[in-house]
Amino acid sequence: MKVAPALRRSTVREEPGLFEIRIPTKANIFIVVFMLAWLGGWTMGEVSVISELLSGKSGEGTGFMAFWLIGWTVGGGLAIYTVLWMIAGREVLRLMGDQLSIRREIFGVGRTREYDLSHVSNLRVAPADPSPFWGPRTFPGMHPGIIAFDYGASTVRMGQSIDEAEALQITRELNARHRFHDRAA
């Protein structure tokens, strides 16, 4: 069987003074379906415990139930975030003027971080860490990414949903538009 080469997942937009790369997330259908089913049970547990607490009939178990509800609510929030990230999440990298910005968004809502290019160096592909916490099976939307650069004394990562080959394409495109010097000591 002949295997076709993988297509690029990211898209590029270029205008005068702006170079933008949009990287959509990878959706794992099994995880999305599992999380949606789990959220059905989660909703029943959340409503039951809230009803019990509001009725005042929980007696001595009120403290435990309140503590449990906090953890259960956080878990549900993470599950909702995971489903939304897998369905509509993306990273947007923008190189414009004297800054590089990284935006992580879901349905167009998100957070943008801007980096002064005079402090950005050593743009590179940094393969996934084999640790169980940041490896390929990391909680969706929380992987640090495969493209890295140094910003002062810290390392910034991006490109959560791409493979090494595409990350190399992106770093080459960015390097062709700005010289990210390696500022090694």
Q: Using the 8-state DSSP alphabet, how is residue 181 labeled?
A: -
- Confidence (pLDDT) at 26: 87
H/E element, 83:
helix 62-88
- Amino acid at the residue 126: A
pLDDT at site 181: 72
Let me know the angle formed at the C-alpha of 101 by 141 and 135, rounded to the nearest 5 degrees: 30
CA distance 140 to 111: 17
What pLDDT tens digit does each residue of the chain (185 aa) get? Answer: 999 998 999 999 999 999 999 999 988 899 999 999 999 999 999 999 888 888 877 777 788 888 999 999 999 999 999 999 999 999 999 999 899 999 999 999 999 999 999 999 999 998 766 555 544 445 555 567 899 999 989 999 999 889 999 999 999 999 999 887 775 54
The side-by-side arrangement of strands in the sheet containing 147-151 is 120-125, 147-151, 154-158
- Reported in sequence order, the residue ranges of the chain that DSSP labels E, i.e. its strands, are 11-15, 18-24, 89-96, 99-106, 109-116, 120-125, 147-151, 154-158
- Per the CB < 8 A criterion, the answer to whether 149 and 156 are in contact is yes
What is the enclosing helix (H) or strand (E) of 44?
Answer: helix 29-55
